[in-house]
A and B are shown apart, each in its own frame.
Chain A
């Protein structure tokens, strides 16, 4: 039974979620929790906070599945954005800022260069090498914009580059990513 359920397609999973089938939550969790948790943990830099947020994210997916439009984005993109937004909201909240010192660019670089996974996971073999293929300035840019929720203007200010340059740099950073991951 379990195997059969896990073999269902993304379409079937979405339909089951929209029908409020609670078993579908388990499947969703098994398929995507490590991805979503990875994103959240990378942003909030605390596993404990990340677990609370992962729960919130799953609840939000469950409640808002009706607003998901398969025509606009893949399920994983939609869910990833929910996770990212919640986590970014968290680190931008006053209470969170007060509890943590803001980190500097150098720290981002350090985070990028350290092993992205704690604990052994076969999926992660070679991940570090892949990430390291990305030029450091590109990594920092994606880190700021994608994982820290910096706007174009904030990024421009943070990195001391003109506004227009942010656009062209993020373009080349993501092009770089596309080359690595396809």
Chain B
């Protein structure tokens, strides 16, 4: 292909219009640097396209000028060391080229920079806030757990007290019953300091025992209450004594229809059919 044909093929127009691939464009540029006619043709085409483009000239809003200049200042930094009188920068008077290596961050459009800054500040505040709230929440949770624990304890305590109270109130009702016979059982020789009280209701036949003072029994023994009618002992049940329960009211599990005295003896665990008289602790007549 000769140069004339090459020029008139249309490839230079495509090149000038930017419609060629990178590779094709390099080929055209190689031809252009080799053949002045090609170079001149390309220039003529480019001029025509620029002239055509100029038909569509349009002015942007006047404010844009300042914003563009500000943008350049922003990129270069505000130190206006470069604002020299133009005459100093005329061709031939080459001054030291100031190459500013401003980090990319500053090259972002204005609004994004502020936006990014705002986003970072927001994130930072968020993280701090989260840490603060998390710490507070953690503290609150710990306190909550402690309070719940305390509450459970108190609930148990309360249940216990309530049961206790109910028991006591029943005891009291029974003790206060007007038909009750109150029998003081006094200490015998074996334990003169001992003392107990029996509340016996002949109508309901129920027997309650209040241990005012009895020595702790050995672990293989139990105290046993006896009702006596005309000298004949009637089993009125065994009872336990635990440390710290002195003064407790014992509701005896038997009914006694007739009695003229009560006594407590120390017996083997589970009780005996007849009282061991050598182990007679307290006794009292109605």
Among B29, B56, B84, the residue within 8 A (CB) of A38 is: B56
Q: A37-B58, A146-B17, A167-B14 are in contact. Are A76 and B50 (CB under 8 A)?
A: yes
Q: Chain B's nearest CB lies how many Å from the CB of A66? A: 8
Among A37, A59, A174, the residue within 8 A (CB) of B60 is: A37
A84–B45 alpha-carbon span in the complex (Å):
16
Q: Interface range on chain A: under 10, 10 to 19, 20 to 34, or 35 or more?
A: 35 or more
Whether the pair A171, B9 counts as a contact (CB closer than 8 A) is yes
A137 at the A/B interface (Cβ < 8 Å)? no
| Residues of chain A contacted by B9 (CB below 8 angstroms) | 167-168, 171
B90 at the A/B interface (Cβ < 8 Å)? yes
Whether the pair B10, A145 counts as a contact (CB closer than 8 A) is no
Question: Which of A90-98, A99-107, A149-157 makes up part of the contact surface?
Answer: A149-157
Whether the pair B20, A152 counts as a contact (CB closer than 8 A) is yes
B97 at the A/B interface (Cβ < 8 Å)? yes
A166–B9 alpha-carbon span in the complex (Å):
10
Residue of B nearest to A50 (CB): B60
| Residues of chain B contacted by A59 (CB below 8 angstroms) | 68, 71-72, 75, 107
| Residues of chain B contacted by A30 (CB below 8 angstroms) | 65
Q: Interface range on chain B: under 10, 10 to 19, 20 to 34, or 35 or more?
A: 35 or more
Among B8, B29, B48, B55, the residue within 8 A (CB) of A130 is: B55
A35–B59 alpha-carbon span in the complex (Å):
8
| Residues of chain A contacted by B47 (CB below 8 angstroms) | 74, 77, 181-182
A57-114 contacts to B, CB under 8 A, are 58-59, 62-63, 72-74, 76-77, 80-81, 84-85, 88
Whether the pair A62, B75 counts as a contact (CB closer than 8 A) is yes
A123-182 contacts to B, CB under 8 A, are 123-124, 127, 130-131, 142, 145-146, 149-152, 155, 166-171, 173-174, 177-178, 181-182
Among A33, A88, A123, A174, the residue within 8 A (CB) of B48 is: A174
Residue of B nearest to A84 (CB): B18
Residue of B nearest to A56 (CB): B109
| Residues of chain B contacted by A142 (CB below 8 angstroms) | 17, 49, 52
Whether the pair B97, A178 counts as a contact (CB closer than 8 A) is no
Residue of B nearest to A134 (CB): B52
Among A21, A35, A123, A167, the residue within 8 A (CB) of B82 is: A21
Residue of B nearest to A41 (CB): B58
B73-122 contacts to A, CB under 8 A, are 73, 75-76, 80, 82-84, 86, 89-91, 94-95, 97-98, 107, 109
Instruction: Give residues in B with beta carbon < 8 Å to A.
Output: 8-11, 13-14, 16-21, 29, 43-61, 64-65, 67-69, 71-73, 75-76, 80, 82-84, 86, 89-91, 94-95, 97-98, 107, 109
